[in-house]
Chain A
Amino acid sequence: MKLRISHETTYRYGRPIRNLVQSLRLTPSVFEGQKVHEWQIDVTDGIRGPGFRDGAGDWIEGWNVRGPVDQVTVRVQGRIDTRDMAGVLRGHREVVHPLTYMTHTDFTQPDDALRDLANSVNGTSDNLDLAHRLSLQISDSIAFQNGVTANNTTAAEALALGAGVCQDHTHALIALARIRHLPARYVSGYLHSTIDGEPHDAAHAWAEIHVEGLGWVGFDAANKCCPDERYVRLGSGLDASDAAPIRGVAMGSGAEDMAVAVQVEELAQ
């Protein structure tokens, strides 16, 4: 698919801030499923700092804004070609050892319910099959529902609630995979449209599970599928916080409020 992406995040501060420092993971991954034609990141009044590719293959950029300012917008615009790789992350250069992704974080810390659910899947010796079935378990156990969970909801809480958004599905699937000794990680990116063709107008997240012999494979439990050409991959981490496309610290004393606008549209051939 040829996709045009526009992603704007605006921060408004109750009182002008003295300074803002951000770390952005907002550039598409380089692998066989993606080819970037044009990509631009801009931060209003921002100074572009260091940029580098980290060990997990993500392009990371530091930015800072000298205050006083009371509003900052992070603007991403670009064009990209995507291909369906059946979820497999082929041709992605990374040096981080998969076992590094066995470590649980606060978001994925297992409780008895997560452990029971993970261990309820049996009768398979094939890890790829196991990963698929764990993903299905999550799709069936957590209904997609906006507004019932928050940014800091954990996998255990989402499972107890039986509902959540893509972040919650992803954390829960990661927890299950790690319980079954499969390295798993959080991926952030964009989605063009859901499987029934509904346009998707927010940032998206899914899980990747490491399967010996195949490498990293994506699973989108929220949409009950594997990532295909509708997906744009930005970067990964141990959980949502570690993989966040934008991390920032502002020096100031006022309240902060954030607005996000994402558009992913298909371009004519």
Chain B
Amino acid sequence: MLSRTAANLFWMGRHLERAETAARLLDVGQRITLLPNTEEGYQNEWNSLLQASGTSELFTGKYGEISQENIEEFIFFDRENPSSVVNCIEKAREAGRIVRTALTSQVWDALNVTYQDLRKIENTPRSRLDTASLTDFTTSHTSTVRGAINATQLRNDGWHFMNLGYGLERADATARLLDVKYFVLLPRIEFVGSGLDTYQWQVILRSLSAHRSYHWAYGGDITAGQVADFLILNGESPRSLITSLYEVVWHLEGLARRYGDAVSAEARDKGRDVMEQLQARDIDMIFDEGLHEFLSWFIQELGTISTLVHQDYLLGGA
């Protein structure tokens, strides 16, 4: 497979996942504005969510004021925001178009329809759109693409590269969100049971679409330790760091097996190594180490794996 083809499949996966992340951000942002809270409270929430996607400064510079309209505009439509839904979907579709022949017609159709419908939404007067319809649009279309990939793509190297993109992006998004909010997850006595932190944890869970599944997994009250455990070490949680990394390693193993010993597999080796280190920890150890320090380490390791994927497969010699 051409290195460029692999790179486009990889980035197609990453951008689709990123679009979903943006949509969830929009959903949670909208919810925040509905909560009875001080003006300042939800502004802070917003800022931290934007920080997680690395776009906080861009937003402040361009819009200043946090309002429903501005948030929608920025997170969904704004082409200057590299993580906006419009940008991510366009980039994913562009990547798909370049490697058209590596996609099944079902996947291409789903991707292309997403893009065509996005055009329609852009041409709809904003007054006729609400936040829920925008997030629904995004999640339902990205799931359709995801479903088409799972149902129809050959389980070949291209499939591995797409899923590597998905997995790395998801691990990265979860880790960054946690890192921005890590302080509310610290089990500090004075906040336990107070309305504020429960609500903050809910915000985190919701922004990862994990508020329901959390209850299924743990039941009962939300506690900081359990939220952190759920999002970092719980293998059932679909967006936890360990689940995302597990998938990344699984696909790297697939590539290494497929390509044999002649092709360097440093990314796989690194992935295995990080996975072992993650498995060796429990949530108390992570808190002892320092949640922020742990997350910084993890984000950096993800970066290294990404770089190694590039070196192993995407340069193609010379």
Contacts and interface: CB of A to CB of B under 8 A. Distances in A.
A–B proximity contact (CB within 8 A): yes
B316 to A, nearest CB: 12
Interface string B151-177: 000000000000000000000000000
A66 interface: yes
A159 to B, nearest CB: 44
A231 B107 CA distance: 66
Nearest to B315: A18
Contacts of B318: 18-19, 66
> What DSSP secondary structure best describes chain A's contact surface?
strand
A40 to B, nearest CB: 26
A17 B318 CA distance: 10
Interface in A57-72: 66
A66 B318 CA distance: 6
B178 to A, nearest CB: 34
B314 to A, nearest CB: 13
A54 to B, nearest CB: 25
Contacts of A18: 318
A9 B318 CA distance: 23
Contacts of A66: 318
A19 B315 CA distance: 12
A46 B76 CA distance: 51
Interface string A216-229: 00000000000000
Nearest to B318: A19
A18 B318 CA distance: 7
Interface in B245-300: none
B117 to A, nearest CB: 39
Nearest to A64: B318
B315 to A, nearest CB: 8
A19 B317 CA distance: 10
A53 B201 CA distance: 74
Interface string B302-318: 00000000000000001
A19 B318 CA distance: 6
A201 to B, nearest CB: 36
Interface string A1-26: 00000000000000000110000000
A45 B205 CA distance: 56
Nearest to B317: A66
B317 to A, nearest CB: 9
A19 to B, nearest CB: 5
B232 to A, nearest CB: 37
Nearest to A67: B318
Interface string A69-97: 00000000000000000000000000000
Contacts of A19: 318
A55 B92 CA distance: 48
A209 B212 CA distance: 85
Interface string B117-159: 0000000000000000000000000000000000000000000
B318 to A, nearest CB: 5
A66 B315 CA distance: 13
A18 B316 CA distance: 12
A87 to B, nearest CB: 44
A70 to B, nearest CB: 17
A269 B318 CA distance: 48
A41 to B, nearest CB: 22
A18 B311 CA distance: 13
A45 to B, nearest CB: 14
A26 to B, nearest CB: 24
A198 to B, nearest CB: 45
A19 B316 CA distance: 13
Nearest to A19: B318
A251 to B, nearest CB: 8
Nearest first, the 3 closest Cβ-Cβ pairs linking A and B are A19-B318, A66-B318, A18-B318
Interface of B: 318
Interface of A: 18-19, 66
3 contacts: A18-B318, A19-B318, A66-B318
